[in-house]
Amino acid sequence: MNIVTTKYQPKNSDAWNELCLINNNLLQTTYYDDIRVLFNQYPVYFEVFDGNNLVGGVKAYEYRSNKLPFISKISSTLRIIGEFIKAIDAELPIEAINNNLIDYISHNNITQFKSMGYYGGFENIAMIHLKKKNTIFSPFDVAAFDLSENKDVLWKKNKESHKRNINKALKASVNLIESDDLDHFITLLNETYALQKKSAPNALFIKRIYNVLYPKGLLKIFFAEHNSIYYGSALVTQFGNYADYSFGGNLKNNFGAGHFLHWSIALTYQQKNYSRYILGQVAKNDGDYGDNTKFVDGISRFKRDFSTFNLPSSSIEWTINPLKLKTWQLIQKLAGL
């Protein structure tokens, strides 16, 4: 097998995206390149060929600040979002791919490397077995509905508290609404984060995702509506057999709008023959998350108490040049970047 490294686009975009489709991996498609450019991130493709046939690979995004030449040299980051893609029954030369990544990092003076699993499964995360100084592994799980199970089985697996809240919403005549009202979605998202320490997702980023993916039929917006008021929202991407909850917001209510929203979305995609509805990251049961109780006791418990199953995953940070990184972080802080 031969590994080819190309910048900005793969050798054959159609072939690459088709392989992404087989793997249900939207984040690794070329479509996302039009989104990440918003943050001055440009793709680098590591493609694996068996003869002339593309059999797998992984895409990374390279970032360099374009403010000054000096800053460009110290700000360089190589980031992978999502797992490897591969042809059915293909055995990828994982070690060789990782070595190519390390060579690229060395030859291009990268300051920091980051790799994050997204859809679940350790085996397809780049550099998961990396043994270098200044490396941080942050394990987590990915919670998802297995939509191959029938509705009654999924309902039975929901925790009793979730069942009660879903039934409350049904009794109150809460409705699931599919809409293209992006402005209302962003408004609700901002209202949700207004009283939180964490900032709301970048509105320009949300708009770029919508403008790139919605025309391709790869994105839906759902609301939980009650008496003409939207109490819950979800931006869901859909690709291959996977639907993925990417962003969402909720107004405080006492009739289970948030529980109803995700349960109804799961059933909607089940009816469309999708295999998974992914809710995203949750804390590992034995993980150490410090004082981040909102993630452990709030978000994670909410997702786990549905009839979801968990897949192990992880994020990796390797600081190749700590001095450069500290200098870059100091410049960002002083300049308010």
Measured over the CA atoms of residue 234, residue 237, residue 240 and residue 242, the dihedral's sign is: negative
CATH (residue range 2-134+320-335): 3.40.630.30
| Residue-level pLDDT at 133 | 86
Domain residue limits, the chain: 2-134+320-335, 142-312
If we measure between CA atoms, which residue out of 211, 234, 209 comes closest to residue 221?
234
The fold of 142-312 is Aminopeptidase (3.40.630)
| Residue linked to tokens 């991996």 | 25
pLDDT at 195: 76
Per-residue pLDDT tens for 118-153? Answer: 998 877 888 877 878 899 999 999 999 999 999 999
Bridge partners, residue 8, by sequence = none
Can 2-134+320-335 and 142-312 be said to share one CATH topology?
A: yes
DSSP track, 50-93: ETTEEEEEEEEEEE---S-HHHHHHS-EEEEES--EE-TT----
**pLDDT per residue as tens digits for the range 62-94:** 998 887 667 887 889 999 999 999 999 888 888
How confident is the model over 7-15, as a mean pLDDT? 97
Do 41 and 61 form a contact (C-beta atoms < 8 A)? yes
Q: What is the pLDDT of residues 25-76, one digit of tens each?
A: 999 999 999 999 998 999 999 999 999 999 999 999 999 888 766 788 788 9
How confident is the prediction for the chain on average, in pLDDT? Answer: 91
Question: Would you say 56 and 85 are in contact if contact means Cβ atoms under 8 Å apart?
Answer: yes
Model confidence pLDDT, tens digit, residues 269-315:
999 999 999 999 998 875 554 555 556 667 899 999 999 999 999 99
